[in-house]
Amino acid sequence: RAGIGSAVDGLAAVGDARRLADTALRACPADGGTVLLDEHLPAALVVSSPALGAALADRVLGPLDRLDAADRDVLIETLTAWFDADGSAPRAGARLYCHRNTVLNRLRRFEQLTGRCLTRPSDATEVSLALTARRLLPD
């Protein structure tokens, strides 16, 4: 695993650069890889304040915890694929090996369970950050 912060000017900023690189490292998935901080700023925000990230994840995704694990995992996997596909149900379906209507039905179920609307930018932002928190922060 490697975290790469932003370039800085002068020795006075080396301490800040180190803190930013450490933040990038905390944003690196547990299974490894390299994270460039400038390309993962939302994840860096989440890991910079783990208590707030965990609170957001609990508030946004908490209703899913009442489901059995298999149902919860399917909804989380679908949401993740949908965000990774930039909100495209057909592309998310291709990633999940299911029809776009299946993706849309799962997203609708998520909205019903949580009261969130994925077409509302503020809700979509919170859901995306909550998913990032669940993925990166320890339980």
Mean pLDDT throughout 18-45? 83
User: In this predicted structure, what is the pLDDT of residue 12?
Assistant: 82
Question: 97-125 in b/e burial notation, b at 16+ Cβ within 10 A?
Answer: ebeeebbbebbebbbebbebebeeeebbe
Query: What are the residue ranges spanned by the domains of the chain?
Result: 1-48, 50-139
% of the chain with per-residue pLDDT over 90: 63
> What pLDDT band is residue 32 in, cutting at 50, 70 and 90?
confident
For the stretch 52-107, pLDDT in tens is 999 999 999 999 999 999 999 999 999 999 999 999 999 999 999 999 999 999 99
The answer on pLDDT for 139 being more than 80 is no
